[in-house]
Amino acid sequence: MASPNPDGDREKVAFKLPPALQQELKVRCAELGLDIQDAATTAITRWRASNEPGPDVDASGAKSFSTWLPPGLYDDFKVTCSERGLTYIQGLAQSIRSWLDDNPSPKEAARPAEVRRIIVCNQKGGVGKTTISAGIAEAHAEVPGLGAKCLQNFVESLTDTELERLNRTREQLLALIADYAAGGERVLLVDFDPQLHLSNQLGIPPIPVGAESLVTHMTGEPRGDIKDLVVPIEDPRFEGRLHVLPGTREGFLLDSKLALTAAQSRGFQKETALERALRPLEDDYEVIVIDSPPSLGLSMDAGLYYGRRRPNEKPGRSGVLIPVQSEDSSADAYQMLVDQIEDLQDDLHLEIDNLGIVVNLFDSRRGYIATSSLEEWHNLEDQTVIAVVDDLKEQRETVRLKRPLLAYVPESKQANVMRLIVAGAGK
């Protein structure tokens, strides 16, 4: 490369950068009519001037990348990387990623909105994560217009006691659902729990151990297209819009596999593994719902990272939805999950929105334990109980019949509570 500045006001420097970022930078500069050297200079200068580094970028497979920078900027960049405890590859990747996010493609406005990602999680088992995951996915995918009328009738029929449990007036709920627009969306429901409750409840065969699965794609061992693993739910209620990515019992080994892959592959970031695996599917869907494992391990970190607020994404659009129960052990588990979310946000400089709490399997016959615990959930600071799901027989029947709840009993109380969750999530 011959210097375009023979008077010496720039110097040639050699970096390493992931091929995907190199290509994206090249295309973006062409779209905006900029020189790559000017973009790189601006990216590094802004990154150094920021108070904090951005979230880590997957820099695996980085290859040689050369450009021209003002004299001294490369040395200053290396000093900043050392101060922040980062490799030069990671520092440059963060710089370029941030610049690309701040300088979107002119074609961006014509693209569909970022896929909405809902992570249904709680490290305590038995709180109803699978029930909630399937229910809200079905509400997003059902025939448009059908759910709105059912939901309005449901809210108008609520008793004073039921309204008191929700800690809202009927007028507040009617205002909340006035613009209910769920339905008619393309939805992917991901069985991320190795216990396979979601796959089994919907009558979908799980992926055998040793076969290609979400696990192999997360650990960098894919043998084909992840789209080939997706299974449609064949029911007229969803008109082909609801799909499932089945689970595998190999997920029990996912944490150790991620740790091993990170140890063997320089630049492999464990937290981004789920996002890397699902990225090829995102253009095919408007909503992705993750039924998470009851875990606080690396797989949960990957799930939380996937639900983070992306650049230019509106707050409350994606994030975590937390099912709980009205008893003390559920409160302890909830606090452990909140601590993990806060730690991940601090460590990786992320924003992870809490879309709300769903109190599941509520039974007032349990007396003071249930009612006092529900009151405590309502009194949590900065959190909102968006729905209370009674312990009803319909869900157990759908599991036995291996049918979706909103297809089996679309006008039932439990089906309408699922729609209420969708209406209130993130609000």
Strand partners, 119: 290, 320
Q: Are 54 and 147 in a shared domain?
A: no
Q: Are 163 and 47 in a shared domain?
A: no
Give the angle subtended at the CA of 69 by the CAs of 268 and 30, to the nearest 5°. Answer: 75
Domain boundary among 86, 108, 130: 108
Q: Are 273 and 338 in a shared domain?
A: yes
Per-residue pLDDT of the chain (427 residues; tens, 9 = 90+): 333 444 457 899 999 999 889 999 999 999 888 999 999 999 999 888 876 666 788 888 899 999 999 999 999 999 999 999 999 999 999 999 989 988 888 765 544 578 999 999 998 888 999 999 999 999 999 999 899 999 999 999 999 999 999 999 999 999 999 889 899 999 999 999 999 999 999 999 999 999 999 999 999 888 899 999 999 999 999 999 999 999 999 999 999 999 999 888 877 889 999 999 999 999 999 999 999 999 899 999 999 999 999 988 999 999 999 999 988 778 888 999 999 999 999 999 999 999 999 999 888 777 777 889 899 999 998 889 999 999 888 989 999 999 999 999 999 999 999 999 999 998 8
Q: Are 48 and 130 in a shared domain?
A: no
Residue-number span of the structural domain to which 21 is assigned: 11-108
Domain of 357, CATH number, reads: 3.40.50.300
Which SS3 state, helix, strand or coil, does residue 27 take? helix
* Residue 393 domain-assigned (yes or no): yes
* Residue 2 domain-assigned (yes or no): no
Quote the strand ranges of 211-273, DSSP E: 231-232, 242-245
Domain boundary among 55, 74, 108: 108
Domain boundary among 108, 139, 173: 108
- pTM reported for the whole predicted model: 0.76
* Residue 3 domain-assigned (yes or no): no
Other beta carbons less than 10 A from residue 191's beta carbon: 30
The residue behind tokens 């769920």 is: 182
Give the burial class of 367: count Cβ atoms within 10 A of its Cβ; 0-12 exposed, 13-18 middle, 19 or more buried: exposed
Q: Are 75 and 175 in a shared domain?
A: no
Q: Are 240 and 352 in a shared domain?
A: yes
Q: Are 147 and 104 in a shared domain?
A: no
* Residue 133 domain-assigned (yes or no): yes
